[in-house]
Amino acid sequence: MQQSIPESLKISPFMAAFVVVSMQIGIGVLGFQRIISKDAGYDAWMSVIGAGLAVHIIVWMMYKICEGVDGDVMAANIFVFGKTIGNSINTLFIIYFTMTCLTLLSGLIEVIRTWMFLSMHPIFFASVYLLLGIYIVNGGFRTVVGISLFGIVVPAYLLFSFLAPIRYGDFTNLLPIFDHTPVQMLKGAYNMTLTYLGYGVLLFIYPFIKKPKESKKWVHIGLTATMIFYTLLAVITFAYFPISLLQKSIWATLEMWKIVKLPFIERFEYLGLANWALIILPNVAISLWVASRVAKRVYHISQRKAVLFIAAVVLICVLMLDSRERINIFHDLQAKAGFILAFIYTPFLYILLLIKKKVNAK
């Protein structure tokens, strides 16, 4: 049975939005424009909105699942599938969130190595970063949430940097609209869902939210904010790059910073990239926290030990992901897993939960 969380460890409903949004904005933002425009061309900004709306529906389902069992998704799994199968599925979550942590960290390291320090050995960066992550997780869930708030508020000034490319942009690039078939736009939307991933964390933090009903409003506002941010960023990028140049740019967001001109720094990318380490930090901390929390619930080990073990696994795997090709393969794998978790598993669980409740009621 679900043990209840003491009131003093819970977070206010407002903060839930920050956890979700900071988990959404990760390494994908740096280069999603190329991927979504591969199929949908410059109509892809509509795919961004479409995918954003789909996310709202999934989040609504997630809330329904958690409300149904008055607990997190692990309780729901055990309720629906029974203890053995439920816990096996829960174990998959440990793997999934370990992979998430690994994706973020390897992505960040790759960007830093390409743009700033070519000869940096990943082990140094990854170990410092993971130590910080462990430290945050050991501070408890409220610390993790605090870092999420920090990871959004502090780098928020970067939004202004995206105004600089507008002067060099040609917004007629987006015309004519609806120049692609609906199938192409759906493909674009599918690719976009990967950049939106991260709201799944809601399934795990639900029991920690005070008055979860009230948090719904905030989470949906947060999701809308992410959607608007992604849409605007996509539109600015599409205006700034002609399509064949965009297809060559792996990190379009970073490339746009090349045009920013400030009197005190010659190259803005370095500032932005250094800040990105702060944006990734809550992501790493949250995924470590979720993975270790699931481990604690399923295997009844202490969370501190679990987080150490998971961080060690991540560190070893980071060392193995040392080329563009390998990282790409791994990121694709992670993205597919995320898609299945959000768009197949969640509705599936929701429907099963409804059926099970009906049967029990009879």
Partner 1 sequence: MKVTRILLTLLMCCLLLVGCNPRYERKVIDDINIATGMGIDKSGDQLKGSIMIPVFKADKSMENFLFTAKGTIMRDVAAQMQQKASQPIFSGSMDVALFEEVVAREGIVQVLDVFLRDPSVGARVHLAVVDGKAQEIFEGNYGDRGNAQYLKDLIEHNMEGGNLPLTNLHSFLFNFYQQGKDPYLPYLKQESPELVNITGIAIFKDEKVIDILHENKMFYFKLLVDKFSMGQVKVKEEHGEATVKSITSDTNMKLTKRKPYEITVQIKLKGLLTEHEGTRLEKNEVKDIEKELEKQINKTCLKLLEDFQKQKVDPIGVGHFVKTKTRNFNFEKWQTDYQDVTFKVSTNVRILEVGVVE
- Report the residue number, 243 or 316, with the smaller CB distance to partner 1: 243
CB of 130 to partner 1, least distance (A): 11
- Which residue from 84, 172, 323, 360 is in contact with partner 1, where contact means CB under 8 A? 172
Query: What is Dmax (Cα atoms) for the chain?
Result: 72
Q: How far is the CB of 248 from partner 1 (least distance, A)?
A: 7
- Examine residue 87 and tell whether it contacts partner 1 (CB under 8 A): no
Tell whether residue 170 is a contact of partner 1 (CB under 8 A).
yes
Q: Which is nearer to partner 1, 124 or 358 (CB)?
A: 124
From residue 275, give the alpha-carbon distance in Å to each of 51, 159, 233, 254, 320.
Answer: 27, 12, 18, 12, 25
Closest contact distance (angstroms) between CB of 134 and partner 1 is: 10
Helices (H), the chain: 13-24, 32-40, 44-69, 73-81, 83-115, 122-138, 141-153, 158-161, 182-196, 202-205, 212-240, 243-246, 252-256, 268-299, 303-320, 324-339, 346-361
Site for partner 1 in 219-258 (CB under 8 A): 240-245, 248, 254-255, 258
Q: Binding partner 1 by CB under 8 A: which of 14, 115, 339, 343?
A: 115
Interatomic CA distance for residues 312 and 257, integer angstroms:
34
Q: Contact between 269 and partner 1 (CB under 8 A)? A: yes
Coil vs helix vs strand at 323: coil
Nearer to partner 1, 6 or 176 (CB): 176
Measured from the CB atom, the residue of 260 and 288 that comes closer to partner 1 is: 260
To partner 1, the closest distance from the beta carbon of 244 in angstroms equals 5
Q: Is 273 helix (H, G, I), strand (E, B) or coil?
A: helix
Nearest-angstrom CA–CA distance, 291 and 99: 10
C-beta of 57 vs 131, nearer to partner 1: 131
* Half-sphere exposure in the Cβ direction for 99 (13 Å, CA): 18
Q: In whole angstroms, what separates CA 261 from the centre of its chain?
A: 30
Structure tokens at 111: 């960007």
Binding mask 309-328 toward partner 1 (x if CB under 8 A, else -) reads: --------------------
Query: In the complex, which residues of this chain contact partner 1 (CB under 8 A)?
Result: 114-115, 117-120, 124, 127-128, 131, 168, 170, 172-173, 175-176, 178-179, 240-245, 248, 254-255, 258-259, 261, 266-267, 269
